[in-house]
Amino acid sequence: MDFAAVKQSMMDFSQPTNVEALDQVCRTFYTSVDMQMRSAAEDIMRSFQEHPDAWTRVDNILEKAQDSNTKFFALQVG
């Protein structure tokens, strides 16, 4: 996974949130044993969560996420 590209797309609030990519990021954060990958996933999640418009994406994430950890993350955003 290209974490830089995923972060760039996740932070582009002029485009719809790529919930599938967010599922992968959350899955990596919660299950990876590779600390670099986990750290990169955490960076994406933190940046998204801190964005002032992140709350506007919560309903879409909850509706489309396949991973329960992604849904939990979305609830923390909103």
Amino acid letter at 65?
A
Quick: pLDDT tens for 11-55: 999 999 999 999 999 999 999 999 999 999 999 999 999 999 999
pTM for the full predicted model = 0.91
Q: How far apart are CA 59 and CA 39, in angstroms?
A: 26
Contact indicator for 61, 74 with CB cutoff of 8 Å: yes
Q: Whole domain around residue 14: which residue ranges?
A: 3-77
Number of structural domains (the chain) is 1
Query: What angle, rounded to 10 degrees, do the helices at 35-50 and 19-31 form?
Result: 130
